[in-house]
Protein backbone atom coordinates (compact mmCIF):
# COMPACT_ATOMS: atom_id res chain seq x y z
CA UNK A 1 0.00 0.00 0.00
CA UNK A 2 1.38 3.39 -1.00
CA UNK A 3 2.23 6.03 1.56
CA UNK A 4 -0.09 8.99 2.12
CA UNK A 5 1.10 12.56 1.68
CA UNK A 6 -1.01 15.56 2.65
CA UNK A 7 -0.88 18.61 0.42
CA UNK A 8 -2.37 21.87 1.66
CA UNK A 9 -3.68 24.18 -1.08
CA UNK A 10 -5.06 23.88 -4.61
CA UNK A 11 -3.22 26.58 -6.55
CA UNK A 12 -0.56 25.68 -9.10
CA UNK A 13 1.72 24.68 -6.22
CA UNK A 14 -0.67 22.18 -4.66
CA UNK A 15 -1.80 20.72 -7.96
CA UNK A 16 1.75 20.16 -9.26
CA UNK A 17 2.74 18.66 -5.90
CA UNK A 18 -0.24 16.30 -6.00
CA UNK A 19 0.33 15.20 -9.59
CA UNK A 20 4.04 14.64 -8.98
CA UNK A 21 3.39 12.73 -5.76
CA UNK A 22 0.94 10.42 -7.52
CA UNK A 23 3.41 9.80 -10.35
CA UNK A 24 6.08 9.01 -7.74
CA UNK A 25 3.92 6.30 -6.17
CA UNK A 26 2.41 8.21 -3.24
CA UNK A 27 -1.26 8.66 -2.33
CA UNK A 28 -1.86 12.41 -2.11
CA UNK A 29 -4.75 13.95 -0.19
CA UNK A 30 -5.22 17.61 -1.10
CA UNK A 31 -6.85 19.94 1.42
CA UNK A 32 -8.36 23.30 0.50
CA UNK A 33 -9.52 25.84 3.08
CA UNK A 34 -12.03 27.47 0.72
CA UNK A 35 -15.06 25.96 -0.98
CA UNK A 36 -13.37 27.12 -4.22
CA UNK A 37 -10.23 25.48 -5.59
CA UNK A 38 -7.49 27.18 -7.60
CA UNK A 39 -6.32 29.86 -5.18
CA UNK A 40 -4.78 33.10 -6.38
CA UNK A 41 -3.20 31.10 -9.25
CA UNK A 42 -6.63 30.84 -10.86
CA UNK A 43 -6.86 34.65 -11.02
CA UNK A 44 -3.32 35.15 -12.30
CA UNK A 45 -1.70 35.64 -15.67
CA UNK A 46 -0.91 31.94 -15.56
CA UNK A 47 2.73 32.10 -16.72
CA UNK A 48 5.63 30.05 -15.34
CA UNK A 49 9.12 31.52 -15.81
CA UNK A 50 11.15 28.48 -16.84
CA UNK A 51 14.43 29.14 -18.72
CA UNK A 52 15.32 26.49 -21.29
CA UNK A 53 11.93 24.75 -21.56
CA UNK A 54 11.46 22.65 -24.68
CA UNK A 55 9.04 25.00 -26.45
CA UNK A 56 11.78 27.61 -26.73
CA UNK A 57 13.97 25.39 -28.90
CA UNK A 58 10.91 24.25 -30.87
CA UNK A 59 10.20 27.92 -31.68
CA UNK A 60 13.74 28.78 -32.63
CA UNK A 61 14.72 30.59 -29.42
CA UNK A 62 18.19 29.56 -28.21
CA UNK A 63 18.32 29.48 -24.42
CA UNK A 64 20.83 27.34 -22.59
CA UNK A 65 20.42 26.77 -18.87
CA UNK A 66 23.70 28.52 -18.12
CA UNK A 67 22.34 31.78 -19.54
CA UNK A 68 19.16 31.38 -17.53
CA UNK A 69 21.19 30.75 -14.40
CA UNK A 70 23.35 33.83 -14.97
CA UNK A 71 20.28 35.99 -15.52
CA UNK A 72 18.63 34.63 -12.37
CA UNK A 73 21.83 35.16 -10.38
CA UNK A 74 21.91 38.81 -11.43
CA UNK A 75 18.23 39.42 -10.70
CA UNK A 76 18.23 37.61 -7.35
CA UNK A 77 21.26 39.41 -5.96
CA UNK A 78 21.31 40.32 -2.26
CA UNK A 79 18.67 37.66 -1.73
CA UNK A 80 19.98 35.81 1.31
CA UNK A 81 19.38 32.12 2.10
CA UNK A 82 16.04 31.91 0.24
CA UNK A 83 17.99 32.28 -2.99
CA UNK A 84 21.03 30.21 -2.10
CA UNK A 85 23.22 28.91 -4.95
CA UNK A 86 21.84 25.41 -4.30
CA UNK A 87 18.23 26.56 -4.63
CA UNK A 88 18.91 28.62 -7.74
CA UNK A 89 20.71 25.69 -9.38
CA UNK A 90 17.89 23.30 -8.47
CA UNK A 91 15.30 25.67 -9.91
CA UNK A 92 17.07 26.19 -13.23
CA UNK A 93 17.96 22.51 -13.71
CA UNK A 94 14.55 21.10 -12.74
CA UNK A 95 12.19 23.51 -14.49
CA UNK A 96 12.48 22.17 -18.07
CA UNK A 97 12.10 18.57 -16.91
CA UNK A 98 8.97 19.41 -14.94
CA UNK A 99 7.45 21.21 -17.95
CA UNK A 100 8.08 18.23 -20.23
CA UNK A 101 6.76 15.68 -17.73
CA UNK A 102 3.55 17.65 -17.28
CA UNK A 103 3.23 17.79 -21.07
CA UNK A 104 3.56 14.01 -21.19
CA UNK A 105 0.64 13.80 -18.75
CA UNK A 106 -1.60 15.95 -20.92
CA UNK A 107 -0.70 19.54 -20.11
CA UNK A 108 -0.89 21.57 -23.32
CA UNK A 109 1.68 24.34 -23.14
CA UNK A 110 1.66 27.47 -25.26
CA UNK A 111 4.78 29.36 -26.34
CA UNK A 112 4.61 33.13 -25.82
CA UNK A 113 7.36 35.40 -27.22
CA UNK A 114 7.10 37.73 -24.21
CA UNK A 115 10.48 39.09 -23.08
CA UNK A 116 12.09 38.98 -19.67
CA UNK A 117 11.31 42.10 -17.67
CA UNK A 118 14.81 43.51 -18.20
CA UNK A 119 15.49 42.61 -21.84
CA UNK A 120 18.52 44.86 -22.21
CA UNK A 121 20.40 43.08 -19.41
CA UNK A 122 23.03 40.40 -20.19
CA UNK A 123 21.59 36.89 -20.73
CA UNK A 124 18.00 38.13 -21.00
CA UNK A 125 15.81 36.29 -23.47
CA UNK A 126 12.18 35.92 -24.47
CA UNK A 127 9.69 33.07 -24.33
CA UNK A 128 10.84 31.90 -20.89
CA UNK A 129 7.36 32.57 -19.54
CA UNK A 130 5.28 29.55 -20.57
CA UNK A 131 1.46 29.44 -20.49
CA UNK A 132 -1.24 26.81 -20.80
CA UNK A 133 -3.19 26.70 -24.05
CA UNK A 134 -6.83 27.69 -24.16
CA UNK A 135 -8.94 25.23 -22.20
CA UNK A 136 -12.57 24.20 -22.26
CA UNK A 137 -13.62 24.29 -18.62
CA UNK A 138 -16.68 22.16 -19.29
CA UNK A 139 -14.28 19.19 -19.49
CA UNK A 140 -14.00 19.42 -15.70
CA UNK A 141 -17.63 18.41 -15.27
CA UNK A 142 -19.00 19.18 -11.81
CA UNK A 143 -15.59 20.42 -10.66
CA UNK A 144 -16.05 23.45 -12.92
CA UNK A 145 -18.67 24.80 -10.50
CA UNK A 146 -16.23 24.97 -7.59
CA UNK A 147 -13.32 26.56 -9.47
CA UNK A 148 -12.10 29.97 -8.30
CA UNK A 149 -13.34 32.49 -10.93
CA UNK A 150 -11.32 35.20 -12.60
CA UNK A 151 -12.02 38.77 -11.44
CA UNK A 152 -12.81 41.49 -13.99
CA UNK A 153 -11.27 39.63 -16.93
CA UNK A 154 -13.89 38.18 -19.27
CA UNK A 155 -13.56 34.61 -20.47
CA UNK A 156 -12.77 34.97 -24.17
CA UNK A 157 -11.22 32.71 -26.75
CA UNK A 158 -8.18 34.81 -27.59
CA UNK A 159 -4.77 33.81 -28.90
CA UNK A 160 -1.59 35.46 -27.55
CA UNK A 161 -0.93 37.36 -30.78
CA UNK A 162 -4.45 38.82 -30.70
CA UNK A 163 -4.34 40.15 -27.15
CA UNK A 164 -2.67 43.51 -27.75
CA UNK A 165 -5.18 44.67 -30.33
CA UNK A 166 -7.96 43.69 -27.90
CA UNK A 167 -6.70 46.46 -25.62
CA UNK A 168 -7.67 49.04 -28.23
CA UNK A 169 -10.46 47.40 -30.27
CA UNK A 170 -12.01 50.64 -31.53
CA UNK A 171 -8.72 52.31 -32.49
CA UNK A 172 -8.65 51.02 -36.08
CA UNK A 173 -10.58 48.91 -38.54
CA UNK A 174 -7.92 46.21 -38.19
CA UNK A 175 -8.44 46.07 -34.44
CA UNK A 176 -12.20 46.15 -34.83
CA UNK A 177 -12.06 43.14 -37.15
CA UNK A 178 -9.80 41.31 -34.69
CA UNK A 179 -12.20 42.05 -31.84
CA UNK A 180 -15.14 40.81 -33.89
CA UNK A 181 -13.25 37.63 -34.74
CA UNK A 182 -12.50 36.95 -31.07
CA UNK A 183 -16.10 37.73 -30.11
CA UNK A 184 -17.53 35.39 -32.73
CA UNK A 185 -15.11 32.63 -31.79
CA UNK A 186 -16.07 33.01 -28.12
CA UNK A 187 -19.77 32.93 -29.01
CA UNK A 188 -19.25 29.78 -31.08
CA UNK A 189 -17.55 28.07 -28.14
CA UNK A 190 -20.42 28.99 -25.86
CA UNK A 191 -23.11 27.94 -28.33
CA UNK A 192 -21.55 24.47 -28.27
CA UNK A 193 -21.64 24.36 -24.47
CA UNK A 194 -17.95 25.08 -24.00
CA UNK A 195 -16.55 27.17 -21.15
CA UNK A 196 -13.53 29.12 -22.44
CA UNK A 197 -10.56 29.59 -20.14
CA UNK A 198 -7.22 31.26 -20.72
CA UNK A 199 -4.19 32.46 -18.72
CA UNK A 200 -4.48 31.42 -15.03
CA UNK A 201 -7.83 29.71 -15.48
CA UNK A 202 -6.47 27.53 -18.29
CA UNK A 203 -3.37 26.60 -16.29
CA UNK A 204 -5.29 25.59 -13.18
CA UNK A 205 -8.07 23.94 -15.16
CA UNK A 206 -5.69 21.73 -17.11
CA UNK A 207 -3.73 20.76 -13.99
CA UNK A 208 -6.96 19.82 -12.20
CA UNK A 209 -8.04 17.76 -15.20
CA UNK A 210 -4.79 15.78 -14.98
CA UNK A 211 -5.15 15.40 -11.20
CA UNK A 212 -8.71 14.10 -11.49
CA UNK A 213 -7.72 11.66 -14.20
CA UNK A 214 -5.02 10.32 -11.85
CA UNK A 215 -7.65 9.76 -9.16
CA UNK A 216 -6.26 12.26 -6.66
CA UNK A 217 -8.43 12.96 -3.61
CA UNK A 218 -9.50 16.54 -2.89
CA UNK A 219 -11.23 17.87 0.21
CA UNK A 220 -12.64 21.39 -0.09
CA UNK A 221 -13.70 23.42 2.92
CA UNK A 222 -10.96 21.87 5.05
CA UNK A 223 -8.84 24.43 6.91
CA UNK A 224 -5.55 23.32 8.47
CA UNK A 225 -5.06 24.69 11.98
CA UNK A 226 -1.98 22.79 13.18
CA UNK A 227 0.71 20.34 12.20
CA UNK A 228 1.09 17.07 14.07
CA UNK A 229 4.67 16.23 14.99
CA UNK A 230 5.77 13.01 16.68
CA UNK A 231 9.30 11.90 17.38
CA UNK A 232 10.72 14.98 15.66
CA UNK A 233 8.79 14.34 12.44
CA UNK A 234 5.64 15.90 10.95
CA UNK A 235 3.11 13.09 10.54
CA UNK A 236 -0.14 14.88 9.77
CA UNK A 237 -2.39 17.89 10.29
CA UNK A 238 -5.24 19.06 12.46
CA UNK A 239 -7.98 20.81 10.59
CA UNK A 240 -11.61 21.83 10.63
CA UNK A 241 -14.08 20.59 8.06
CA UNK A 242 -17.69 21.69 8.08
CA UNK A 243 -17.09 23.19 11.49
CA UNK A 244 -15.86 19.91 12.95
CA UNK A 245 -12.27 19.18 14.02
CA UNK A 246 -10.48 16.44 12.10
CA UNK A 247 -7.05 14.80 12.30
CA UNK A 248 -5.38 13.50 9.17
CA UNK A 249 -2.25 11.34 9.15
CA UNK A 250 0.44 11.26 6.48
CA UNK A 251 3.30 8.77 6.63
CA UNK A 252 5.11 10.46 3.72
CA UNK A 253 4.84 13.96 5.17
CA UNK A 254 3.04 17.24 4.52
CA UNK A 255 3.59 19.79 1.75
CA UNK A 256 2.36 23.30 2.54
CA UNK A 257 1.14 25.05 -0.62
CA UNK A 258 -1.42 27.33 1.00
CA UNK A 259 -0.26 30.76 -0.16
CA UNK A 260 1.18 33.53 1.95
CA UNK A 261 -0.13 35.98 4.54
CA UNK A 262 -1.36 38.77 2.27
CA UNK A 263 -4.77 38.92 3.97
CA UNK A 264 -3.45 38.75 7.54
CA UNK A 265 -3.71 42.30 8.89
CA UNK A 266 -1.55 41.69 11.96
CA UNK A 267 1.30 40.05 10.03
CA UNK A 268 1.22 42.64 7.24
CA UNK A 269 1.45 45.44 9.80
CA UNK A 270 4.20 43.68 11.73
CA UNK A 271 6.48 42.88 8.80
CA UNK A 272 5.55 45.33 6.05
CA UNK A 273 3.78 48.31 7.62
CA UNK A 274 0.88 48.01 5.18
CA UNK A 275 -2.65 46.77 5.56
CA UNK A 276 -4.16 43.55 4.27
CA UNK A 277 -6.36 45.52 1.87
CA UNK A 278 -3.33 46.22 -0.38
CA UNK A 279 -3.52 42.80 -2.00
CA UNK A 280 -5.41 41.13 -4.85
CA UNK A 281 -4.77 37.69 -3.33
CA UNK A 282 -7.76 35.51 -2.40
CA UNK A 283 -9.51 36.22 0.94
CA UNK A 284 -8.26 32.91 2.37
CA UNK A 285 -4.59 33.97 2.02
CA UNK A 286 -4.20 34.52 5.77
CA UNK A 287 -0.97 32.71 6.59
CA UNK A 288 -2.46 29.69 8.38
CA UNK A 289 0.15 27.24 7.07
CA UNK A 290 2.97 29.65 7.80
CA UNK A 291 1.86 30.09 11.41
CA UNK A 292 1.43 26.35 11.92
CA UNK A 293 5.02 25.77 10.82
CA UNK A 294 6.33 28.60 13.00
CA UNK A 295 5.06 26.69 16.05
CA UNK A 296 7.56 23.96 15.14
CA UNK A 297 10.46 26.39 15.03
CA UNK A 298 10.56 26.95 11.26
CA UNK A 299 12.84 29.69 9.95
CA UNK A 300 11.57 32.51 7.75
CA UNK A 301 13.05 35.00 5.29
CA UNK A 302 11.94 37.98 3.16
CA UNK A 303 8.95 38.60 5.41
CA UNK A 304 9.06 42.31 4.57
CA UNK A 305 8.59 41.72 0.84
CA UNK A 306 5.74 41.08 -1.59
CA UNK A 307 5.09 40.78 -5.31
CA UNK A 308 4.37 44.49 -5.65
CA UNK A 309 2.36 46.35 -8.24
CA UNK A 310 -0.31 49.00 -8.74
CA UNK A 311 -4.07 48.67 -8.60
CA UNK A 312 -7.31 50.64 -8.81
CA UNK A 313 -10.13 49.98 -6.36
CA UNK A 314 -13.63 49.73 -7.82
CA UNK A 315 -16.68 50.92 -5.87
CA UNK A 316 -17.50 47.36 -4.79
CA UNK A 317 -14.09 47.12 -3.11
CA UNK A 318 -12.52 44.81 -5.70
CA UNK A 319 -9.06 45.68 -6.98
CA UNK A 320 -7.93 45.64 -10.59
CA UNK A 321 -4.18 45.09 -11.02
CA UNK A 322 -3.03 47.65 -13.61
CA UNK A 323 -0.78 46.52 -16.47
CA UNK A 324 -1.48 48.16 -19.84
CA UNK A 325 -3.59 51.05 -18.50
CA UNK A 326 -0.53 52.86 -17.11
CA UNK A 327 1.65 51.97 -20.10
CA UNK A 328 -0.52 53.19 -22.96
CA UNK A 329 0.11 56.73 -24.24
CA UNK A 330 -1.74 59.91 -23.26
CA UNK A 331 -1.43 59.05 -19.58
CA UNK A 332 0.89 59.58 -16.61
CA UNK A 333 0.88 58.98 -12.85
CA UNK A 334 1.36 61.72 -10.25
CA UNK A 335 1.44 61.65 -6.46
CA UNK A 336 -0.48 64.00 -4.20
CA UNK A 337 1.92 66.83 -4.99
CA UNK A 338 0.94 66.64 -8.65
CA UNK A 339 4.36 65.40 -9.75
CA UNK A 340 5.55 62.25 -11.48
CA UNK A 341 7.89 60.02 -9.48
CA UNK A 342 8.54 56.90 -11.60
CA UNK A 343 8.44 55.27 -15.01
CA UNK A 344 4.76 54.34 -15.36
CA UNK A 345 5.54 51.60 -17.90
CA UNK A 346 8.14 49.83 -15.76
CA UNK A 347 7.64 46.23 -14.62
CA UNK A 348 4.85 46.30 -12.07
CA UNK A 349 7.07 45.15 -9.20
CA UNK A 350 9.35 48.14 -9.79
CA UNK A 351 6.50 50.63 -9.98
CA UNK A 352 4.89 49.21 -6.85
CA UNK A 353 8.18 49.52 -5.00
CA UNK A 354 8.54 53.11 -6.22
CA UNK A 355 5.09 53.94 -4.88
CA UNK A 356 5.91 52.37 -1.53
CA UNK A 357 9.18 54.33 -1.35
CA UNK A 358 7.42 57.56 -2.35
CA UNK A 359 5.07 57.15 0.60
CA UNK A 360 8.03 57.74 2.89
CA UNK A 361 8.69 61.15 1.28
CA UNK A 362 5.33 62.36 -0.01
CA UNK A 363 1.94 60.65 0.25
CA UNK A 364 1.70 58.40 -2.82
CA UNK A 365 -1.37 56.48 -1.73
CA UNK A 366 -3.44 57.28 -3.53
CA UNK A 367 -1.62 58.46 -6.58
CA UNK A 368 -3.53 59.44 -9.70
CA UNK A 369 -3.46 58.00 -13.20
CA UNK A 370 -4.16 61.06 -15.35
CA UNK A 371 -5.48 60.48 -18.88
CA UNK A 372 -6.62 62.67 -21.72
CA UNK A 373 -9.67 62.06 -23.92
CA UNK A 374 -7.82 59.79 -26.34
CA UNK A 375 -6.86 57.31 -23.64
CA UNK A 376 -10.43 56.86 -22.43
CA UNK A 377 -11.83 56.89 -25.96
CA UNK A 378 -9.60 54.17 -27.39
CA UNK A 379 -8.15 51.95 -24.67
CA UNK A 380 -9.56 49.25 -22.39
CA UNK A 381 -9.41 50.07 -18.68
CA UNK A 382 -9.71 46.91 -16.56
CA UNK A 383 -12.72 45.32 -18.28
CA UNK A 384 -14.18 48.60 -19.60
CA UNK A 385 -13.94 49.22 -23.33
CA UNK A 386 -12.63 52.55 -24.51
CA UNK A 387 -15.48 55.04 -24.66
CA UNK A 388 -17.52 53.12 -22.10
CA UNK A 389 -17.65 55.11 -18.87
CA UNK A 390 -20.60 53.91 -16.79
CA UNK A 391 -22.49 56.62 -14.94
CA UNK A 392 -22.18 54.65 -11.70
CA UNK A 393 -18.37 54.87 -11.90
CA UNK A 394 -18.56 58.64 -12.42
CA UNK A 395 -21.08 59.13 -9.62
CA UNK A 396 -19.03 57.00 -7.23
CA UNK A 397 -15.89 59.02 -7.97
CA UNK A 398 -13.99 56.06 -9.41
CA UNK A 399 -13.60 58.02 -12.64
CA UNK A 400 -12.89 61.73 -12.12
CA UNK A 401 -13.66 63.79 -15.23
CA UNK A 402 -12.97 67.46 -15.93
CA UNK A 403 -12.86 69.92 -18.79
CA UNK A 404 -9.45 71.31 -17.79
CA UNK A 405 -6.38 70.31 -15.80
CA UNK A 406 -7.19 73.00 -13.23
CA UNK A 407 -10.62 71.47 -12.67
CA UNK A 408 -9.19 67.93 -12.57
CA UNK A 409 -6.58 68.94 -10.01
CA UNK A 410 -9.33 70.42 -7.82
CA UNK A 411 -11.35 67.22 -8.08
CA UNK A 412 -8.30 65.16 -7.12
CA UNK A 413 -7.23 67.54 -4.37
CA UNK A 414 -3.75 68.01 -5.82
CA UNK A 415 -1.77 71.16 -6.65
CA UNK A 416 -2.97 72.54 -10.01
CA UNK A 417 0.23 74.45 -10.80
CA UNK A 418 2.37 71.37 -10.23
CA UNK A 419 0.07 69.18 -12.32
CA UNK A 420 0.06 71.61 -15.24
CA UNK A 421 3.84 71.93 -15.14
CA UNK A 422 4.18 68.14 -14.96
CA UNK A 423 1.91 67.71 -17.99
CA UNK A 424 3.71 70.47 -19.92
CA UNK A 425 7.09 68.82 -19.37
CA UNK A 426 5.70 65.35 -20.13
CA UNK A 427 4.12 66.58 -23.37
CA UNK A 428 7.52 67.79 -24.50
CA UNK A 429 8.96 64.34 -23.83
CA UNK A 430 6.09 62.76 -25.77
CA UNK A 431 6.73 64.89 -28.83
CA UNK A 432 10.46 64.16 -28.72
CA UNK A 433 9.89 60.46 -27.93
CA UNK A 434 12.31 60.59 -25.00
CA UNK A 435 11.39 60.71 -21.30
CA UNK A 436 14.37 62.51 -19.78
CA UNK A 437 13.05 62.17 -16.22
CA UNK A 438 12.18 58.47 -15.86
CA UNK A 439 13.08 56.90 -19.24
CA UNK A 440 9.60 55.58 -20.01
CA UNK A 441 9.74 53.67 -23.26
CA UNK A 442 13.53 53.27 -23.37
CA UNK A 443 13.26 49.55 -22.61
CA UNK A 444 11.70 47.04 -24.99
CA UNK A 445 9.63 45.83 -22.04
CA UNK A 446 8.08 49.28 -21.56
CA UNK A 447 6.76 49.19 -25.11
CA UNK A 448 5.10 45.77 -24.92
CA UNK A 449 1.65 47.24 -24.26
CA UNK A 450 2.29 50.51 -26.10
CA UNK A 451 0.22 51.78 -29.01
CA UNK A 452 2.28 51.17 -32.15
CA UNK A 453 0.28 53.83 -34.01
CA UNK A 454 1.66 56.50 -31.68
CA UNK A 455 5.14 57.79 -32.34
CA UNK A 456 7.98 58.30 -31.98
CA UNK A 457 7.57 56.40 -28.68
CA UNK A 458 4.53 54.09 -28.47
CA UNK A 459 4.17 54.44 -24.71
CA UNK A 460 4.43 58.23 -24.66
CA UNK A 461 1.61 60.47 -25.85
CA UNK A 462 0.82 64.06 -24.96
CA UNK A 463 -2.08 64.92 -22.64
CA UNK A 464 -3.73 67.72 -24.60
CA UNK A 465 -7.33 66.87 -25.36
CA UNK A 466 -10.21 67.44 -22.98
CA UNK A 467 -12.01 66.01 -21.18
CA UNK A 468 -9.27 64.93 -18.82
CA UNK A 469 -9.70 61.90 -16.61
CA UNK A 470 -8.19 60.58 -13.37
CA UNK A 471 -8.38 57.32 -11.43
CA UNK A 472 -6.98 56.85 -7.94
CA UNK A 473 -4.26 54.19 -8.01
CA UNK A 474 -2.62 52.47 -5.07
CA UNK A 475 0.43 50.37 -4.32
CA UNK A 476 -0.70 46.77 -4.31
CA UNK A 477 0.55 43.21 -4.42
CA UNK A 478 -0.17 39.81 -5.94
CA UNK A 479 0.69 38.18 -2.62
CA UNK A 480 3.48 38.12 -0.09
CA UNK A 481 6.95 37.03 -1.16
CA UNK A 482 8.46 35.96 2.14
CA UNK A 483 7.70 33.01 4.33
CA UNK A 484 9.13 29.68 5.40
CA UNK A 485 12.75 29.05 4.53
CA UNK A 486 13.24 25.87 2.50
CA UNK A 487 16.20 24.04 1.02
CA UNK A 488 16.73 22.87 -2.56
CA UNK A 489 14.43 19.88 -1.97
CA UNK A 490 11.57 22.02 -0.67
CA UNK A 491 12.15 20.90 2.92
CA UNK A 492 11.26 23.49 5.57
CA UNK A 493 14.29 24.26 7.72
CA UNK A 494 14.52 25.43 11.32
CA UNK A 495 16.45 28.38 12.75
CA UNK A 496 19.61 26.25 12.82
CA UNK A 497 19.23 25.49 9.11
CA UNK A 498 18.28 21.85 9.69
CA UNK A 499 15.35 20.28 7.81
CA UNK A 500 12.18 19.63 9.81
CA UNK A 501 11.52 15.99 8.99
CA UNK A 502 8.35 15.35 7.04
CA UNK A 503 7.61 19.02 6.37
CA UNK A 504 7.83 20.58 2.91
CA UNK A 505 6.56 23.84 1.42
CA UNK A 506 6.49 25.81 -1.79
CA UNK A 507 4.89 28.85 -3.39
CA UNK A 508 3.99 31.97 -1.42
CA UNK A 509 4.05 29.96 1.81
CA UNK A 510 7.84 30.17 1.41
CA UNK A 511 10.53 32.77 0.87
CA UNK A 512 11.08 33.01 -2.88
CA UNK A 513 14.17 31.79 -4.71
CA UNK A 514 13.84 35.06 -6.66
CA UNK A 515 14.97 36.96 -3.59
CA UNK A 516 14.00 40.58 -4.13
CA UNK A 517 14.11 40.21 -7.90
CA UNK A 518 11.40 39.62 -10.50
CA UNK A 519 13.15 38.51 -13.68
CA UNK A 520 10.21 37.82 -15.96
CA UNK A 521 6.61 36.73 -16.47
CA UNK A 522 5.82 33.81 -14.19
CA UNK A 523 8.45 34.51 -11.55
CA UNK A 524 5.86 33.69 -8.89
CA UNK A 525 4.29 30.54 -10.34
CA UNK A 526 7.48 29.14 -11.88
CA UNK A 527 9.32 28.56 -8.58
CA UNK A 528 6.05 27.57 -6.90
CA UNK A 529 5.59 24.71 -9.36
CA UNK A 530 9.25 23.65 -9.51
CA UNK A 531 9.79 23.37 -5.77
CA UNK A 532 6.42 21.65 -5.35
CA UNK A 533 7.62 19.11 -7.92
CA UNK A 534 10.94 18.67 -6.11
CA UNK A 535 9.27 18.42 -2.70
CA UNK A 536 6.88 15.69 -3.82
CA UNK A 537 9.69 13.68 -5.39
CA UNK A 538 11.87 14.01 -2.30
CA UNK A 539 9.01 12.92 -0.05
CA UNK A 540 8.72 9.82 -2.24
CA UNK A 541 12.42 9.08 -1.84
CA UNK A 542 13.42 10.32 -5.29
CA UNK A 543 16.35 12.71 -4.85
CA UNK A 544 17.33 14.74 -7.89
Q: What is Dmax (Cα atoms) for the chain?
A: 75
Provide the percentage of residues in the chain whose pLDDT is more than 90: 86
Average pLDDT over residues 6-26: 98
CATH superfamily, region 1-151+199-305+481-544: FAD/NAD(P)-binding domain (3.50.50.60)
Architecture of domain 308-477: Alpha-Beta Complex (3.90)
Dist CA 276 CA 231 (whole Å):
37
Least confident of 32-46, 69-83, 315-329: 69-83
Report, in this order, helix, strand and coil percent for the chain, each rounded to 5.
35, 20, 45
Whether residue 535 is predicted with pLDDT greater than 80 in this model: the reply is yes
Domains of the chain, residue spans: 1-151+199-305+481-544, 156-194, 308-477
Query: Can you name the residues that pair with 384 across neighbouring β-strands?
Result: 381
Pairing of strands 27-31, 109-110: unpaired
Contacts of 360 (CB under 8 A, 6+ apart): none
Q: Give the chain's mean pLDDT.
A: 95
**What is the dihedral angle through the alpha carbons of 461, 463, 468, 473, rounded to the nearest 10 degrees?**
60
Is the Cβ–Cβ distance between 158 and 182 less than 8 Å? Answer: yes
Global pTM reads 0.96
Whether residue 339 is predicted with pLDDT greater than 90 in this model: the reply is yes
Sign of CA dihedral 58, 64, 67, 73: positive
Task: Kindly give the interhelix angle for 85-104 and 12-23, rounded to the nearest 10 degrees.
Answer: 70
Whether residue 137 is predicted with pLDDT greater than 80 in this model: the reply is yes
343-363 per-position pLDDT tens digit: 999 999 999 999 999 988 888
Q: How far is CA 498 from CA 6, 295, 495, 509, 512, in A?
A: 21, 15, 7, 18, 18
Is the Cβ–Cβ distance between 480 and 77 less than 8 Å? Answer: no
Locate the DSSP E strands across 232-391: 233-241, 244-249, 254-256, 300-301, 306-313, 319-321, 331-334, 367-371
pLDDT score for 162: 82
pLDDT score for 1: 72
Is the Cβ–Cβ distance between 110 and 47 less than 8 Å? Answer: no
Count CB neighbours of 323 within 10 A. Answer: 16
1-151+199-305+481-544 and 308-477 agree in CATH topology: no
74-94 per-position pLDDT tens digit: 998 666 899 999 999 999 999
Average pLDDT over residues 458-487: 96
Whether residue 327 is predicted with pLDDT greater than 80 in this model: the reply is yes
Dist CA 452 CA 432 (whole Å):
16
Dist CA 386 CA 376 (whole Å):
5
pLDDT score for 443: 97
- Confidence category of residue 278, pLDDT binned at 50, 70, 90: confident
497-534 per-position pLDDT tens digit: 999 999 999 999 999 999 999 999 999 999 999 999 99
pLDDT score for 78: 65
Average pLDDT over residues 442-451: 95
Amino acid sequence: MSKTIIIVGTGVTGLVAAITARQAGLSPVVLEKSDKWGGTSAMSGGALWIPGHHLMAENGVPDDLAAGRRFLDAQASQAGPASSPERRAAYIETGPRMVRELADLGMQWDFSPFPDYYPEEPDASYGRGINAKLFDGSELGEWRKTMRPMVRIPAIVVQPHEFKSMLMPTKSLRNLVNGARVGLRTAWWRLRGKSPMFIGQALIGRLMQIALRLGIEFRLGTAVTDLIAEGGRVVGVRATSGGDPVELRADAGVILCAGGFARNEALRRKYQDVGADYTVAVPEDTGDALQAALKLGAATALMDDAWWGVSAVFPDGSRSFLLWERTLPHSLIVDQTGRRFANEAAPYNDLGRAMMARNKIYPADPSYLIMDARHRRHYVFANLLGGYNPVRLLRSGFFLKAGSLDELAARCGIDAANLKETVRRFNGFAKAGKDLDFHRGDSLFDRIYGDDDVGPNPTLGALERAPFWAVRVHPSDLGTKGGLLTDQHGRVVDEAGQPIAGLYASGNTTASVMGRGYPGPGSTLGPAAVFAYRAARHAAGLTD
